[in-house]
Structure 1
Amino acid sequence: MDNPYQRKKRWKYLLLFFAVIIAGSSLLYTQYLVKNIAKSERKSAQVWAQAMKQVFKTVDEDHLNFVFLVRDSLLVPAIITDEKGDFKFSRGLDTTKTFIELPPEPGIDNKKAPVYDIKYFENELAIMKAQHEPIKIKMDIPGLGETFWFVYYKESLLLSQLRVFPYIQLTIIAIFLGVAYSAFSSERKSEQNQVWVGLAKETAHQLGTPISSLLAWIELLKDKFNAEEDPLIAEMANDVKRLEVVADRFSKIGSKPVLDAHSVYEVVNDFVNYFRVRVTDKITFEVRGDRYLKAGINVPLFDWVIENLLKNAVNAIEGKGSIKVDIVASKARNQVYIDVTDSGKGIPRSKFVTVFRPGYTTRKRGWGLGLSLTKRMVENYHNGQIFVKDSEVGKGTTFRIVLRSIEE
């Protein structure tokens, strides 16, 4: 049976697939329109080119007027050059840049005829060459003989805008969807947090009465059977006190915990000593490190962190193995590293991030909340970090907790 995270992931991929289909369809349809408009503009340019050719052949005035009418019907900018690339005619260019006035020659009271601005024409011609293949027309000009001219034309503003419009449209849609998704996700997370906080506080409240009763019953057992030193009753008392700690944890959820300076080694070692007698003796525990390293810790919540990691390690071992906790300092970064290493079945590298997500579990009866809560308690409540430092399938896993060290 799929867990909620996997179903959610499948839905995301499905929605992404449909989004890609919609975006692709939009792009394909736009490209279809662009091709049709481009073909239409090329046909217009070909008609204009033939009209220019007829100008040099037509003698009849009525026919010539018709040719001029066809020639002037082209809506896109165009330039005609000869075989050498020299400018012959133009159409639809910027009239303020098309020609430049040359100053008169010194000592002569006349002006030279205006000529075309070479730099402007070269820039426009380069753009046209990059956009379309030229239209080649054969010319037979009296006095010049047979030659070839080349008609270059520029795509219309409409066509240029149509090329970029779908990308602008898709970008705007993507930004809108991203903002909407973030808003809904934030709202949903806020609602979920409120539900979890309410449930946690109610659980702590409900646990309070039976825990108090159990403590009273233990004291009565000690008095009735004169069993102050009885180890079984002592362990019962430890477990009831543990329930008190659990209830205290739940009552603190949703509020900012107080962090005090504690020896990291002592906090971790105390909980490991409590935990080791409650699991099989086939698993060995070892805590190593500097006893004097201190960090800001809320002990009930941090015990919960260590408990989740140890339980996760025990489940991964599934039999005989070892769990080691190494506590080291990084003086350069002013940090304390807590590495929890087990000899269990390991985690695939592709799941290093996934294991911290709510709902992810490899056990049939698991809720998939342990590591998710651990990450929240480390990052949100202790201002630290937790991640999978290293893992190899079949050999084991190392989780690393990073806390800010406190110098005294």
Structure 2
Amino acid sequence: MNPYQQKKRWKYILVTFAIIIASGSLLYTNHLVKNISKSERTRAQIWAMSMRQMTSSDDNDFLQYVTAVRDSTLVPAIVVDEKGNIKYVRGLDSTKTNINIPGNDKVKGAAKYDPEYFQKELVYMKKQHEPIELTMLNTRYMVYYKDSALLQELRIFPYVQLSVIAIFLLVAYTAFNSSRKSEQNQVWVGLAKETAHQLGTPISSLMAWLELIKEKFKAEKDPLMAEMENDIKRLEIIADRFSKIGSKPKLEEHSVYYVIKDFVDYFSVRVSSNINFEITGNPYLQAGLNVPLFDWVLENLLKNAVNAIEGKGKIKVEISQNKTKKNQILIDITDTGKGIPRSKFDTVFQPGYTTRKRGWGLGLSLTKRIVKNYHNGDVFVRDSEVGKGTTFRIILKKTNNDKQTTTR
């Protein structure tokens, strides 16, 4: 299992545990809510029965006891008669005036009765719970009630709790991930610079040996010597690339067409002759490029295209100006290889992802970083169909306005 798949599996495991914890919290809180809800219905029933007892008893001591029991229930309630008229309320907003006080609206400074408020509360109570029937003095009443403030807060509490936990985990994960990436970047930068340093000595030796061979065998014009020189220069470029990692590269204006053409000319003679290369586009489109690093981008994408082609095939590079955004240059690299499933369009740029047994899964990840971080552009899979081929698109910022001037 490659590192990307392992990391993905761990993410699924952590998400599963998080869902289990959240579900357990919600189930337990729901259990508490049900128990408290049963308790509050019992309270409402006691309150209703106490009202009935107060109307049917003449014993003052008993009435005091019943009154104490009634007043101890804090469940908000509304009593209505058979016609739906509100006769009594309890535990609601005291500023709306107790409807059982006649003439209260005439008292100076007293709050006025708000019938709309009580009607809304009644509708809400009818939706929450079944009413409690009550018969007093041969008249049938219905007692409606709603959850107390404590129970309502308890219903909301698990969601608040989970939100706080989620925010904390998100902040912790972001901080941890940022720290881990910074540490990884330092390791990669150190490794890259050390690689560049180690390559320096053998490259210098190869250049010296090549000059000795030319002189000894009179082979200055031998085409094989020329190709060896190209390969040594290529090694110098690779060493230079690694030495630049970790520092901001200098961008210079270049013709995108000619930079790509120079690299394809070098690359095409070093792969199978069964693969044909084609370059089309406007040679006057210029962008700010660091050529050694941009060649690395082309190398990774073209190698990826070559590996995707089994047998004969074609790789086409099209360079054009974006028709809707005139300040963008579009580079489409299309191959006739085996294609990429749509579900893997983003995954292919993840570090460690590879379909090759001996691959490290770093090529396309480095490509993405070089284009986005160093050239302020973007690279993505524009289109792909399994069995037919893939098109990668690079977007660069156009720097020149004069179409008839270009710098190689």
Cα distance in 1 for residues equivalent to 2:341 and 2:111: 76
Match of 1:272 in 2: 264
Cα distance in 2 for residues equivalent to 1:322 and 1:190: 40
Q: What amino acid does structure 2 have at the position aligned with 1:395?
A: K
Cα distance in 2 for residues equivalent to 1:405 and 1:96: 68
Q: What amino acid does structure 2 have at the position aligned with 1:210?
A: P
Runs of 4+ in 1 over 4 A off after TM superposition: 113-116
Match of 2:321 in 1: 329
Match of 2:350 in 1: 357
The 1:165/1:9 distance shift into structure 2, 3 A limit, reads: same
Render the CA deviation track for 1:337-381: whole Å, top value 9, x for unaligned: 000000000000000000000000000000000000000010011
Once the two structures are TM-superposed, the CA of residue 116 in structure 1 deviates from its matched residue by 4.6
Match of 2:220 in 1: 228
Q: What amino acid does structure 1 have at the position aligned with 2:385?
A: E
More displaced 10-residue stretch of structure 1: 45-54 or 271-280: 45-54
1:208 correspondence with 2:200: yes
Once the two structures are TM-superposed, the CA of residue 50 in structure 1 deviates from its matched residue by 1.3
Provide the alpha-carbon RMSD of the alignment. Answer: 1.7
Matches within 5 A, 1:100-249: 101-103=104-106, 116-139=113-136, 141=137, 146-249=138-241
Structure 2 unaligned spans of 5+? 403-408
Cα distance in 1 for residues equivalent to 2:127 and 2:333: 62
How many residues align? The count is 395
Structure 1 counterpart of 2:340, from 340, 344, 347? 347
Task: Tell me, yes or no, if the aligned pair for 1:98 and 1:121 is still in contact at 8 Å.
Answer: no
The 1:331/1:390 distance shift into structure 2, 3 A limit, reads: closer
Cα distance in 1 for residues equivalent to 2:197 and 2:105: 95
Q: What amino acid does structure 1 have at the position aligned with 2:249?
A: P
Q: What amino acid does structure 1 have at the position aligned with 2:45?
A: Q
Cα distance in 2 for residues equivalent to 1:341 and 1:94: 71
Once the two structures are TM-superposed, the CA of residue 115 in structure 1 deviates from its matched residue by 8.2
Matched residues, percent identical?
68
Cα distance in 2 for residues equivalent to 1:182 and 1:72: 52
Match of 1:28 in 2: 27
Match of 2:406 in 1: none
Corresponding residue SS for 1:296 = strand
Q: What amino acid does structure 1 have at the position aligned with 2:116?
A: K
Q: What amino acid does structure 2 have at the position aligned with 1:148?
A: R
1:370 correspondence with 2:363: yes
Match of 1:108 in 2: none
1:404 correspondence with 2:397: yes
Structure 1 unaligned spans of 5+? 105-110
Corresponding residue SS for 1:75 = coil
More displaced 10-residue stretch of structure 1: 117-126 or 352-361: 117-126
Match of 1:19 in 2: 18
Once the two structures are TM-superposed, the CA of residue 130 in structure 1 deviates from its matched residue by 3.1
Once the two structures are TM-superposed, the CA of residue 75 in structure 1 deviates from its matched residue by 1.5
Q: What amino acid does structure 1 have at the position aligned with 2:16?
A: F
Corresponding residue SS for 1:288 = strand
Match of 2:247 in 1: 255
Once the two structures are TM-superposed, the CA of residue 14 in structure 1 deviates from its matched residue by 0.4
Task: Tell me, yes or no, if the aligned pair for 2:97 and 2:111 is still in contact at 8 Å.
Answer: no
Render the CA deviation track for 1:195-238: whole Å, top value 9, x for unaligned: 11111111111111110111111111111111111111111111
Cα distance in 2 for residues equivalent to 1:220 and 1:136: 111
Task: Tell me, yes or no, if the aligned pair for 2:383 and 2:390 is still in contact at 8 Å.
Answer: yes
Cα distance in 2 for residues equivalent to 1:102 and 1:325: 85
Cα distance in 1 for residues equivalent to 2:228 and 2:118: 95
Cα distance in 2 for residues equivalent to 1:343 and 1:182: 40
Match of 2:405 in 1: none
Cα distance in 2 for residues equivalent to 1:120 and 1:394: 68
The 1:301/1:114 distance shift into structure 2, 3 A limit, reads: closer
